[in-house]
Amino acid sequence: MIRGGPQIWAHAKFSWLSLQRSPGLWVVGFVAAMSAGSGLFWRDFSFGEAEGRFVLGFGWGLQNLLGMGLALAAAVQIWARDQEDKTLPVWRARGLSLWALATGRLLAAGLFCAIFAVGSTLVLAWAQTGKPGALAFAQLFASAGWLTLKLTLVATMTFGVTRISRNTGFVIGATTGLILLGHLRPWAGELGGVPMVISWLAPDLSSLSPAMGQQQPNLDAGVVRALAAAGYGVVFLGLATREQSNE
């Protein structure tokens, strides 16, 4: 029996194949990236500067929204396939680690999120500047990197929610609720009291919005945000290792 890193890698490859062989997810991902980058098309119309900014702002927002939906769908796809195939009892019977399983699943979902984030960011930057490949590596890293972190966190939240229920509808609904909560944290923080405490259930997703492709990242604030996100990620991953198995 392999242990540690190799077992994580084995689970990651297994989960990645599950995603890779879900053509619907890739079609939706492509359509989502193209929808976000539809500014490429609208650029050819003689809009004013303000309208142009609106279209691009709408595109960046759509990238965020559709990306979170895709991250949730990818995580549900990986988890639900294992549930449907009832593979978990067989793995556990042989002593496979649930930590390795959860981390492997997360790596696969993270790779899917990274592909969407980089692809859609490149398309959006093209729409914004009129030149394909306009982003410098550092800008691409800052923009797509933050989005990848945010989407991977959404996937981790989804895996964490599976601890509570095996019902796919519940998992989708509860994760969507956490995503909303994560975006309402700044307002909840201003309100204080109970709303603020409840909002701590979810990470501050609004602070992980991409840097719109062009802004320079604030490294000091970035480290804190990344660490906070990682902390929530570890908690949700820990919950995922207590997943309700289909025994």
Partner 1 sequence: MATAALRFDGVTKEFYAGREAGRVRALDAFSAEIGVGTIVGLLGPNGCGKSTALKCALGLLSPDHGQVRVHGLPAGSVKACHTVGYLPERGGVPSHLTAREALQWWAWVNGTDQQAVATSLEAVGLTAAADRRVASFSKGMRQRLALAQAWLPRPSILLLDEPFSGVDPRGVDRLVEMIMAEKQAGKTILLTSHLLPRVEQICDEVILVDRGRVIVAGTVATVLGGEPVRSRGLDDVFRERLEGNKS
Look at the block and give the residue holding tokens 């930590």: 99
Considering the complex, state which of residue 87 and residue 206 has its C-beta at the smaller distance from partner 1.
Answer: 87
Q: Considering CB under 8 A, how many residues would be counted as binding partner 1? A: 26
The full 3-state SS of 3-30, as one line of letters, equals CHHHHHHHHHHHHHHHHHCCHHHHHHHH
Instruction: Quote the CA–CA distance of 45 and 42 in Å, as a whole number.
Output: 6
* Residue closer to partner 1 (CB basis): 129 or 241: 241
Any contact of residue 166 with partner 1 (CB under 8 A)? no
Name the token pair of 127: 């729409």
Q: Considering the complex, what minimum distance in angstroms separates the CB of residue 246 from partner 1?
A: 8
CB 147 within 8 A of CB 66: no
- Work out which of 5, 51, 61, 90 binds partner 1, going by CB under 8 A: 90
- Is residue 34 within 8 Å of 128, Cβ to Cβ? no
Rg (CA), the chain: 19
Binding mask 1-20 for partner 1 (x = CB under 8 A): xx----x--x--xx--xx--
Minimum distance from residue 16 beta carbon to partner 1 (Å): 11
Binding site for partner 1 (CB under 8 A): 1-2, 7, 10, 13-14, 17-18, 21-22, 81-82, 84-87, 89-96, 245, 247
